[in-house]
Amino acid sequence: MKEAPLPEDILKLGVEGVNRLWREAELRGAGMKRAKALVSAAEHSVGSKEAPEAARMELKNLLNDIDVYASRMEELLRRIEEKLKEIPYIDNLLAVKGIGMVTVSGFIAEAGDIKRFDSPKQLQKLAGYAIVANESGKHNGESHISYRGRKRLRYVLYEAAVSLVGKNAEFREIHEYYRTRKENPLKKMQSVVAAACKVLRIFYVILTKGVRYDPKKLLGGIRMPQVQAA
């Protein structure tokens, strides 16, 4: 964008020029094939060609703004990391594959001092993940989460569950188990919510007891019924 912000600039560079810029920037997945596709797209561009210098200037300013905000974000994350190091057992959380600093900082910011909770159920209620019975109409007797709690905390836990299901083998197995078990199989969204509740309980145990994440213990609850059934 900095070197060739407009289609006509891309055409001037040509395929070789575009590929050269990408190599110098050490971009992953870039190559002649993608460079040819970009140049072809520039050839068939239907964008406005009026006031190109003004357009280049505006794009330059926007890119400079992005650099400024990126720098601020790096500084903010650095300070957050320093603050998190002051909290006991944070390293044990960050050691869990699929859990990053942004997730942990979001959780701490919303939950506060974890020691003020006597059990993970209280924390689950704060997040709006408490299970309540539905006593209305045709759904009488069915259960669902309350949604009465801190929306941001619920979001952080949900996003953590999505990340873990995608990157963590144990959570992926749990997610698959919830969706395919013979009794009360869950829909995809319900399974992710169930995984989010498990994330909450893991965070609580690690931060209050100082234990390390144990994949075998995590999977023990779902593998034991399967072994018994077999």
Q: How do beta strands 131-134 and 142-145 pair?
A: antiparallel
Burial code (b: 16+ CB inside 10 Å, e: under 16) for 171-194 equals bebbbebbeeeeeeebeeeebbbb
Q: What number is the average pLDDT over the span 20-48? A: 87
Give the largest CA-CA distance in the chain: 74
In tens, the pLDDT along 64-102 reads 999 999 999 999 889 988 988 889 999 999 999 999 998
Q: What number is the average pLDDT over the span 212-221? A: 82
Q: What number is the average pLDDT over the span 193-207? A: 93
Instruction: Find the length of the chain.
Output: 230
- Would the pTM of this model clear 0.95, i.e. be above it? no
Of 1, 34, 3, 41, nearest in space to 19 by CA: 34
Q: What number is the average pLDDT over the span 19-40? A: 89
Locate all alpha helices (DSSP H) within 85-187, ordered by sequence: 90-94, 101-111, 120-126, 151-167, 169-180
Tell me what pLDDT residue 229 has: 46
d(CA 5, CA 45): 13
Tell me what pLDDT residue 228 has: 42
The gap from C-alpha 206 to its chain's centroid, in whole angstroms, comes to: 20
Q: Range with the lowest mean pLDDT among 48-57, 73-82, 200-209, 217-226?
A: 217-226
- In the chain, the percentage of residues whose pLDDT exceeds 70 is 91
Q: Range with the lowest mean pLDDT among 11-15, 45-49, 58-62, 184-188?
A: 45-49
